[in-house]
């Protein structure tokens, strides 16, 4: 079965409301909170507006690039369940986890087997480890078979240009699928119909 799913890069109330009200909502919803180069970046005031929407069965995830203390302080009182940290050392993540008392998704960018092995440095300080491509928003992917190197007890989330038609490839992998660009009609603009198809596909595989 597929362990779960995350829809990332949400930036408007209508889409968020649709997602959390869906009959088969994702376990996680992600918001880009400090990477201003992203087409999915959400300004603080807008972020507060979005997070006022009842998350219901989903968990809200702040996606943070680097150890950005200014952003961490600005969002510390917002109702995030997880911080998803990119480009942070294990030491930095440990301090963030201790200071802000949040669950952690440690994001590793993967190109080869050596990159995969880095998960061991993060397994004791993270609830989930995300294996993503090197491309960030460039719709790149990596060889997902590399995850066969990861021990079974690790809670694994996987990203990197995963399309709706790829979902069935993961039906026996027990991963959490993290998708964003494949659910858009244009850069940064989510498509309700694609979201519906994705969530129903995941549900049907697990039924």
Q: Could you read off the pLDDT of 143-195 as tens digits, one per residue?
A: 888 998 899 999 999 998 899 999 999 998 899 999 999 999 998 999 999 99
- Cα separation, 192 vs 10, in Å, equals 12
Smallest CA-to-CA distance from 13 within 42, 44, 49 is with 49
Q: 109 is in which domain, residue-wise? A: 4-206
How many structural domains comprise the chain? Answer: 1
Band of residue 61 on the pLDDT scale cut at 50, 70, 90:
very high
3-state secondary structure the chain: CCCEEEECCCCCHHHHHHHHHCCCCCCEEEEECCCCCCCCECCHHHHHHHHCCCCCCCEEEEEEECCCHHHHHHHCCCCCCEEEEECCCHHHHHHHHHHHCCEEEEEEEECCHHHHHHHHHCCCCCCEEEEEECCCCCCCCCCHHHHHHCCCCCCEEECCCCCHHHHHHHCCCCCEEEECHHHEEECCEECHHHHHHHHHHHHHHHC
> Residue 191's domain is classified under what CATH number?
3.20.20.70
Smallest CA-to-CA distance from 134 within 118, 149, 148 is with 118
Indicate the Cα dihedral angle 76, 28, 63, 47, nearest 10°: -60
Average pLDDT, stretch 85-109? 96
Give the pair of three-digit tokens for residue 154: 């690790």
In 10 A of CB 98, how many CB atoms? 10
Q: Could you read off the pLDDT of 44-53 as tens digits, one per residue?
A: 999 999 999 9
Q: Contact 1/171 with Cβ under 8 angstroms? A: yes
pLDDT of residue 142: 85
- Cα separation, 22 vs 30, in Å, equals 16
What pTM, to 2 d.p., does this model score?
A: 0.95
- Cα separation, 158 vs 108, in Å, equals 10
């Amino acid at each position: 079965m597929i362990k779960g799913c995350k829809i990332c890069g949400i930036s408007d109330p209508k889409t968020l409301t649709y997602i959390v009200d869906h009959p088969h909502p994702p376990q996680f919803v992600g918001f880009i909170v400090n990477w201003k180069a992203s087409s999915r970046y959400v300004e603080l005031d807008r972020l507060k507006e979005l997070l006022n929407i009842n998350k219901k069965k989903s968990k809200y995830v702040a996606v943070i690039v680097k150890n950005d203390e200014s952003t961490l302080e600005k969002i510390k009182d917002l109702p995030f369940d997880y911080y998803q940290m990119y480009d942070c050392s294990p030491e930095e993540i440990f301090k963030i986890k201790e200071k802000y008392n949040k669950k952690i998704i440690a994001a590793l960018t993967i190109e080869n087997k050596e990159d995969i092995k880095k998960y061991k440095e993060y397994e004791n300080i993270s609830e989930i480890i995300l294996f993503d491509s090197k491309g960030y928003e460039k719709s790149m992917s990596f060889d997902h078979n590399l995850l066969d190197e990861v021990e079974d007890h690790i809670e694994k989330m996987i990203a990197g240009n995963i399309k709706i038609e790829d979902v069935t490839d993961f039906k026996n992998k027990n991963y959490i699928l993290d998708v964003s660009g494949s659910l858009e009609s244009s850069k940064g603009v989510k498509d309700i119909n694609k979201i519906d198809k994705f969530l129903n596909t995941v549900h049907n595989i697990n039924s």
